[in-house]
Amino acid sequence: MSVQTVKTTPFTDQKPGTSGLRKKVKVFQGQHYLENFVQSIFTAIGGGHGKTLVLGGDGRFYNPQAVQTILKMAAANGVSRVLVGRNGLLSTPAASAVIRKYETSGGIILSASHNPAGPDEDFGIKYNIGNGGPAPERITSAIFEESKKISDYSILDWPDIDLDRLGGQMVGDMSVDIIDPVADYQVLMESLFDFGKIRALFQSGFTLRFDAMSAATGPYAKAILEGALGAAPGTVVNGDPLEDFGGHHPDPNPVHAKALFDLMYGEDAPDMGAASDGDGDRNIILGRGLYVAPSDSLAALAANAHLAPGYKDGLKGIARSMPTSRAADRVAEALGIPSFETPTGWKFFGNLLDADMATLCGEESAGTGSNHVREKDGLWAVLLWLNIIAERKQSIPEIMAEHWHTYGRNYYSRHDYEALEVAPANALMDALRGKLSSLVGQTFHGETVASADDFAYTDPVDGSVSTGQGLRVAFESGSRFVIRLSGTGTVGATLRVYLERYEPKGGDMGMDTQDALATIITIADEVAEISARTGRDAPTVIS
């Protein structure tokens, strides 16, 4: 057994984005690329000595090879013990749950989330801290700084281990425990939800279609929904994780989960439809003929969470990312609890959850979660919906209709323009940023601008400031649009345009979303010069 010190030179592009470092597989396979980043993590966290870590990923192409490399590097960096999901698989929320349960120093998660997988597609890696959540900016910046000056890395000369065999193995002096990726997560879900009531719901004939999109959630959904809760066999479709996710793009939205949408809007729709993404942290929820916008799902879950045992004492607060619709704020107001508006990305929720200031969190990008872990959690959201349905004995469309009747409706949609050229996309942002202050007071198509700014956030717990988090233009009517560039894409630039209009209670709750937003869509295009500057006449994805 020998520790090798390998000479290397820095890469300039290892700055973690919204959720870790994401690049094409081919980039990660390049000489020293993965190793440089992993060594930068170890150096940035003060070395591995005496630490226990969790390691796993969404099962995509290159996941097993990366696990083997990271284990040898962890051993060479003095790590004492690593818990690894069998075959290197751990959904992102399950990794968070395992870090918390075993109180490890942190974990390394291998995922590019909803990005496609395969030899020519994407791979990703991120570090999570001891609370189970994504490393905050001070750590991701330290990793980036290390990556810019790295000159060598340490790796143990040791054979690959058997990732399929549950139990203990050694890599040098470091012990490795291969764990069942589902077991700990399932125990946690059983502690939060009334499995007996949900089982009775399925026994009474309630039908669900859960699309695991050939990605990480399949084993979890099968074990919990079809196993513990007795949903009919076949409830979970695309339930076997494939290294290329079956060639699909595992992002649960109307474009990539089209089969599920078609089913739910068709004649033979089950009572509920749901899907999750590549690494299992996202979710979408559909009722018969109704797609519940993720922002609305957060609001409805917040309003009803007390019906599930894990939340019976109520919520401390609700946090949402800035571009997420303000529907949840109305629920917080009614409950008399605080609401928080954070930048995009789950890492900003960690402090609020740790400080017990917020219980539920959500993002418009199909992410909902709570203080049970420090990641968003797709299957958790499905189970909370099921628990609420079991208690209320109403359909999803009935629950949402009552919700809008009580709180009014925030019509909401996101338009994405993917794979744009980087320079014009940056120029669009610069131009809009430059004219924000002059917009206030101007009227466009009958909508007068009340405020316009570049969102900055001061963390109420540690006082850290994050600037440049998205351009937002709000109108006197309560409508608004927000524009930002994606921090997770790997090809060119992705422009995200978030559109929102509030219809107070008593108004028309049954409009088509795109129709309801038509004026705001036109104004956003004019003010930000979207079609003019991108040359696109329509978004790539509307969700």
Instruction: Answer yes or no whether residue 344 interacts with ligand G1P by CB under 6 A.
Output: yes
From 292, 297, 291, 289, select the one nearest 269 (Cα to Cα): 289
Going from the C-alpha of 28 to that of each of 108, 139, 148, the distances in angstroms are 15, 21, 16
Taking the complex as a whole, the smallest distance from the CB of residue 214 to ligand G1P amounts, in Å, to 18
| Residue of 43, 488, 534, 543 that binds ligand G1P (CB under 6 A) | 488
Contacts of the segment 504-511: beta carbons below 8 A, 24+ positions apart: 504/408, 505/404, 505/405, 505/406, 505/407, 505/408, 507/408, 507/409, 509/401, 509/404, 509/405, 509/409, 511/411
| Residue of 279, 329, 447, 459 that binds Zn ion (CB under 5 A) | 279
- Which token pair is 345? 């990305």
- Start-to-end CA distance of the chain, whole Å, equals 52
Q: Which residues are CB-contacts of 8 (< 8 A; sequence separation ≥ 6)?
A: 32, 35, 36, 150, 151, 152, 153
Residues 3-22 that bind ligand G1P (CB under 6 A): 18-19
| Residue of 487, 525, 529, 533 that binds ligand G1P (CB under 6 A) | 487
| Residue of 105, 115, 413, 486 that binds ligand G1P (CB under 6 A) | 486
Which of Zn ion, ligand G1P, none has residue 345 at its interface (CB below 5 to 8 Å by kind)?
A: ligand G1P
Round to whole Å and give the CA distance between 476 and 440.
10
DSSP-derived pairing of the beta strands 21-24 and 122-129? antiparallel
Taking the complex as a whole, the smallest distance from the CB of residue 147 to Zn ion amounts, in Å, to 23
Active site residue 113: yes
Instruction: Answer yes or no whether residue 365 interacts with ligand G1P by CB under 6 A.
Output: yes
Size of site (CB under 6 A) for ligand G1P: 14
Q: Is 132 helix (H, G, I), strand (E, B) or coil?
A: coil
**What residues are paired with 6 via a beta bridge?**
153
Taking the complex as a whole, the smallest distance from the CB of residue 428 to ligand G1P amounts, in Å, to 16
Instruction: Answer yes or no whether residue 363 interacts with ligand G1P by CB under 6 A.
Output: yes
Instruction: Answer yes or no whether residue 60 interacts with ligand G1P by CB under 6 A.
Output: no
Round to whole Å and give the CA distance between 127 and 125.
7
Residues 195-224 that bind ligand G1P (CB under 6 A): none
Nearer to Zn ion (CB atom), residue 44 or residue 112:
112
Which of Zn ion, ligand G1P, none has residue 487 at its interface (CB below 5 to 8 Å by kind)?
A: ligand G1P
Question: Would you say 154 and 7 are in contact if contact means Cβ atoms under 8 Å apart?
Answer: no
Nearer to Zn ion (CB atom), residue 278 or residue 287:
278
Taking the complex as a whole, the smallest distance from the CB of residue 292 to Zn ion amounts, in Å, to 18
Instruction: Answer yes or no whether residue 113 interacts with ligand G1P by CB under 6 A.
Output: yes
Taking the complex as a whole, the smallest distance from the CB of residue 20 to ligand G1P amounts, in Å, to 9
Instruction: Answer yes or no whether residue 375 interacts with Zn ion by CB under 5 A.
Output: no
Q: Which amino acid is at 356?
A: D
CA 51 to chain centroid, in Å, comes to: 27
Instruction: Answer yes or no whether residue 184 interacts with Zn ion by CB under 5 A.
Output: no
Q: Is residue 517 within a helix (H) or strand (E), and if so which, with residue range?
A: none
Letters for 99-138 (x = contact with Zn ion by CB under 5 A, - = none) are: --------------x-------------------------
Instruction: Answer yes or no whether residue 277 interacts with Zn ion by CB under 5 A.
Output: yes
Instruction: Answer yes or no whether residue 253 interacts with ligand G1P by CB under 6 A.
Output: no
Point out the residue whose Cβ comes nearest to Zn ion: 113
Question: Would you say 411 and 364 are in contact if contact means Cβ atoms under 8 Å apart?
Answer: no
User: What secondary structure, in 3-state letters, does 72-116 show?
Assistant: HHHHHCCCCEEEEEEEEECCHHHHHHHHHHCCCCEEEEECCCCCC
Catalytic residue among 113, 214, 297, 339: 113
Stretch that binds Zn ion, among 281-289, 356-364, 380-388, 500-508 (CB under 5 A): 281-289
10 Å CB burial of residue 9 (0-12, 13-18, 19+) is exposed
Stretch that binds Zn ion, among 183-191, 229-237, 256-264, 275-283 (CB under 5 A): 275-283
Taking the complex as a whole, the smallest distance from the CB of residue 94 to Zn ion amounts, in Å, to 12
Round to whole Å and give the CA distance between 499 and 521.
7
Q: Is 492 helix (H, G, I), strand (E, B) or coil?
A: coil
Nearer to Zn ion (CB atom), residue 97 or residue 178:
97
Which of ligand G1P, Zn ion, none has residue 81 at its interface (CB below 5 to 8 Å by kind)?
A: none
Instruction: Answer yes or no whether residue 111 interacts with ligand G1P by CB under 6 A.
Output: no
Which of Zn ion, ligand G1P, none has residue 279 at its interface (CB below 5 to 8 Å by kind)?
A: Zn ion
Which of Zn ion, ligand G1P, none has residue 365 at its interface (CB below 5 to 8 Å by kind)?
A: ligand G1P
Round to whole Å and give the CA distance between 68 and 73.
9
Nearer to Zn ion (CB atom), residue 122 or residue 503:
122
DSSP line for 316-381: S-EEEETTS-THHHHHHHHHT--EEEE-SSGGGGHHHHHTTS-SEEEETTTEEEETTSSS--HHHH
Q: Which residues in this chain contact Zn ion in the complex, by CB under 5 A?
A: 113, 277, 279, 281-282
Catalytic residues: 113
Q: Which residues in this chain contact ligand G1P in the complex, by CB under 6 A?
A: 18-19, 113, 321, 344-346, 363, 365, 367, 486-488, 496
